[in-house]
Structure 1
Amino acid sequence: MKSIILFLFILNFSSVFSQQIAVLKYKGGGDWYANPTALPNLVQFSNANTNTSINKDIQTITLNDDTVNNYPIVFATGHGNIFFTNEEVKNLKNYLISGGFLHISDNYGLDKYIRRELKKVFPDIQLQKIPNNHPIYHQTFSFPKGLPKIHEHDKKPAQGFGLFYKNRLIVFYDYESDLNDGWEDAVVHNNSKETRVKALKMGANIIEYAFKH
């Protein structure tokens, strides 16, 4: 009987929520709301070019309750401080180890804060550089050289980092890439069409990977 209930729960979760994504509103004063056109553009691109039919209404969530569990992938971005309370740490950990996926995009200035907060969530798990042959770089679109560089800040190479739990990638963190900038409307950052398409392709890969895994 329990197995039947579990199956029905999973089936219902998949049918209702599998094609919805959310952006994380966090504490600390950082601009979690940065790049407002980014996710709508990414959803449109992903639906048009990969096997997704994501709801175009991007939800804003917090970690104060279990509503985060309604979304298979959550995005977080910003330039400044980010802070998780003890309750939020607990909720985020439960979400991630139960099958959720978090993509963090450093808009420049988020790095030291997000590393500190992730350490609170998983004290014993280290962020690892994602190898170029990892499946996240090889979904519908292939990136043999790994994470693409979208926006220049410090002339450092773009790097993709991740947290793995029981061999599953649960957090993907793009650093010195600024994928979000490439997802925004062209007039916002004046990125070339080639750069924007490259960013959107990598973003679509992340969504596709998260849904599959």
Structure 2
Amino acid sequence: MNEITLSNTAPTGERLEATFLPEGGMNLIRYRLGDIEVIDPATRPLFDERFAGLGALIGPHFHHRQEIPMNFDTSLFPHIAKVFAQGKKEPFSHGIARYVPWKYVASTTQIKGRLQGGDLYKGVPLKTFEGQDFDLSFEARLHPDGLFIEYKIESEKPSVLGLHYYYRLSGAGVIHSTVQKTYRDQQEWKPLPEKWVKEGHLHFTLPQE
């Protein structure tokens, strides 16, 4: 697969790099500052086996669907036989976005990708695998102060998007992000715990669950 590496220079003068595999579900396989690697390379076998691990995408659905379309030849995706052998019914856990090649354009500091339900994978429209039509867009910009990602969808049915990144952390760390005040737990919307929220931002100290 063709690797696309974005590069920039951090305020410290160190080299900042982010490497994506657009042909492998737009997976973020490396993100490093100088000699510090942020993405956990130990999860690469999961990616090679079934498109999990490293920096995978979520979408257009999360985890397993209640209604799973199976009107296609499952041999188009070698990982499906392994998943079914484990007793699982969902062939595309977390959505089709991570399992197929994306259309993309890239520069030294930016990559833009698009994935649509009408795109063909081995002659079959992606909406056949996902069970709905959709239009996904992904844009990553590597600035001197970090990686900025915009990930959006228009779809026939309610959809969920996300970033399922496996971080390589040494000791303690902090996730700081702009978020909504609520999160969805199955079919129920719940407020974020107050200890995690500061002035409209998520402030999550690691390690904890």
TM-score, length-scaled by structure 1 = 0.29
Larger radius of gyration: 2
Structure in which a larger fraction of residues adopt helix: 1
Q: Which has the higher strand share?
A: 2
TM-score, normalised to structure 2, is 0.30
Q: Which has the higher contact order (CA 8 A, sep 6+)?
A: 1
